[in-house]
Amino acid sequence: MNYNERNRHKRDAFIQFDCDQHQYIHNGHIFKSVTTIVDECFKQFDADYWARRKAPSLGMTPQQVKDMWNRKGEISRNLGTQMHTKIEHYYLGTPHHLDDQDGTDRLFALFTKNHTLHPYRTEWAIFDEESRVAGTLDFLDYQNGKFSIYDWKRSNKVVDRNGTPEKANRWGDHAYAPIAHIVDTTFWHYALQVSIYRYILEKNYGIQVSDNHLAVFHPDYDRPHVVDTPYLKDEVISVLNKRKSEF
C-alpha cells in the first residue's frame, strides 16, 4: 500500500477529475479549478495586441506570431506535465519510461540531495463545496508532526537565476479587486494558488499546514530553486467570497 492509499481521505470519493475536459466534478456539478480562479484575478495576456506589436520585428504576420506562441506554450505545458509525472513516480517508487528531454531530471536529482521529503499525498484532488472550487495539490509533506506544501514549477518567471522571487511588475500591474494590492507577477499568482490549496486543506480536511514552498526546475538554471511563499489567507477568503457571489 503506497502513501496515497494509506492516507486516503473520506472526501476523496466525492470529487472526480475529467482529464479530457479538464473539469472537476462533485455530485454532478462542475467545480471551477483553482488555476482558473487565480487566472481570473489578473489581467489576461492580450495576444492579438502583442502579436501585432511583435510581428514586424520578427518578419512574421500577427497570426504566425500567435501560432508560434501557441506551439511554444503547448510544448512547455507538455514538458511540465511530464516533469510532474516523473516526480510522482519517483516518490511512489514506481518505474517510468519518460526521457529527460530538457534537463529537469538533473535539477530534480540535485533537489533530492538537499531535501529529504516524506510524502503524505501527491497529485491530490481537493475541493471546497461552499465555493465550488477544486484543484490538484502537487505534494504534501509530513514530517516531525508538520505538514508542508510543495508545488513543482517548470518556469523561469518565478525567480531569477539566483533564486530571488520576481515580486515586482515593471508596468505596475496588480490584481483585480478585492485583492488589488497583490502585484501581478508569476510568483504572486503561484503564491495565491498554493494559499488556496492550504485554505481548502485547513477548512475541509482537518490538516493544518505549517509552510508552503515552490520548487522551481527550469533548464535555463544551473540548480533548482526552492522559495517559501506567504500564506495569503485573507486574500483567499476574499477571492472565494467573490466566487460564492457568482451563484
Q: For the chain, which residues make up each domain, given as ranges? A: 3-244
CATH number for region 3-244: 3.90.320
What's the whole-model pTM score? Answer: 0.95
Residues 170-179 have a mean pLDDT of 96
SS (H, E, C) the chain: CCHHHHCCCHHHHHCEEECCCCEEEECCEEEEEHHHHHHCCCCCCCHHHHHHHHHHHHCCCHHHHHHHHHHHHHHHHHHHHHHHHHHHHHHHCCCCCCCCCCCHHHHHHHHHHHCCCCEEEEEEEEEECCCCEEEEEEEEEEECCEEEEEEEECCCCCECCCCCECCCCCCCCECCCCCCCCECCHHHHHHHHHHHHHHHHHHHCCCCEEEEEEEECCCCCCCCEEEEECCCHHHHHHHHHHHHCCC
pLDDT digits (tens, 9 = 90+) for 212-242: 999 999 999 999 999 999 999 999 999 999 9
pLDDT digits (tens, 9 = 90+) for 41-98: 999 998 999 999 999 999 999 999 999 999 999 999 999 999 999 999 999 999 887 7
